[in-house]
Amino acid sequence: MEEQREKTKKHGAGSAVRIIILTAAAAVFCYAAFQLYSIYHGYQAANDEYDSLKSSYTSSYSGSSDVPPETSSAPPSDQSPSDESSGEEVFTEDAAPPLTVDFSSLQAVNSDVIGWLYIDAIPSISYPICRGTDNDYYLHHTFEKESLFAGSIFEDFHNSADFSDPNSIVYGHNMRNQSMFGLLKTLRSQETADRSPYFWILTPNGNYRYHIFAAFETPVNSDAYQLFSGQGAEFLAWEQEMQKNSEISSSVPLAESDKTVMLSTCTSDSSTRCVVFGKCVSSQRPSRSAG
């Protein structure tokens, strides 16, 4: 009898342990399901917001233009006017802009908007660019200032808002659903870069076309993130080093007078970033606003 009671006691204890384990497993499953739902909901909310912005504030370019939609990567000499301040030839590849942006209405929604990014080879990357007072706010706040992980495409707050610095940095999340900068890594492919090695930054003051001259993965604290207060030999040496490190080949010439933009996003490795560099090749170049 005593032996039977001992067996019953052990059986009861075993059942209790199994119930605890099953309850814990169910709790973990529910938490994981909630997390997945929250992530999906956040993705969808961000996508809906940016799709609405695109349809409300942008339209396909329909204005007349004397420039062709594409030009040769080796433009004729009359497309490369001299930069009188440096005596250098300014490499120019003009084209009609891909979009028209209603910046007056857009800035009425959020005065932090400074431009619109569009990548020719990845047309899904078409987003407003914000600039905050730090690099944290727009990391997880959308253009309409909703708190969501997807955040915004934003310029480094150390840079000038008019993209007139020698090198400006623009950040965006590498989203799993391939929104934001989720497809930026494809520009590290020669095939993708060859399809169209250009991106645009459209601003209230001008439409700037950039020719991609480098793309690669780099440590988070690498020289790729170096900022320059002015142009010159040191800046050109930095450009050339970025081009040397590139995973794609590019023959676009570099010069001390260049205005460049670096697009940056995270990778699956927290210690590295994917970076893409372009130099402005439109006739109209960013210049500092008065004051």
Domain covering 38-280, topology: Sortase; Chain: A; (2.40.260)
Q: Is the pLDDT of residue 86 over 60?
A: no
Q: How far apart are CA 195 and CA 121, in angstroms?
A: 6
Task: Report whether 263 contacts 129 (CB < 8 A).
Answer: no
pLDDT in tens, 144-175: 999 988 899 999 999 999 999 999 999 999 99
Over 60: is that where the pLDDT of 36 sits? Answer: no
pLDDT value at 274 more than 50: yes
pLDDT of 235 over the 50 cut: yes
Let me know the angle formed at the C-alpha of 114 by 112 and 117, rounded to the nearest 5 degrees: 125
Task: Return the percentage of the chain with pLDDT > 90, whole number.
Answer: 65
DSSP reduced 3-state for 213 = strand
Q: How confident is the model at residue 83 (pLDDT cuts 50, 70, 90)?
A: low
pLDDT (average), residues 278-290: 86
Average pLDDT over residues 191-213: 95
Predicted local confidence at residue 48, as pLDDT: 85
Q: What mean pLDDT, rounded, does the chain reach?
A: 84
Which of 17-26, 51-60, 212-221, 234-243 is predicted least confidently? 17-26
Strand partners, 275: 216, 264
Model confidence pTM above 0.75: yes
Looking at per-residue pLDDT, the higher value among 61 and 71 belongs to: 61
Do 160 and 288 touch, CB atoms closer than 8 A? yes
pLDDT at 23 > cutoff 70: no
Closest residue by Cα to residue 195 from 183, 181, 203, 207: 183
Are residues 164 and 226 in contact, defined by beta-carbon separation less than 8 angstroms? no
Look at residue 38 in the predicted model and tell me its pLDDT: 46
Q: What is the pLDDT of residue 72?
A: 38
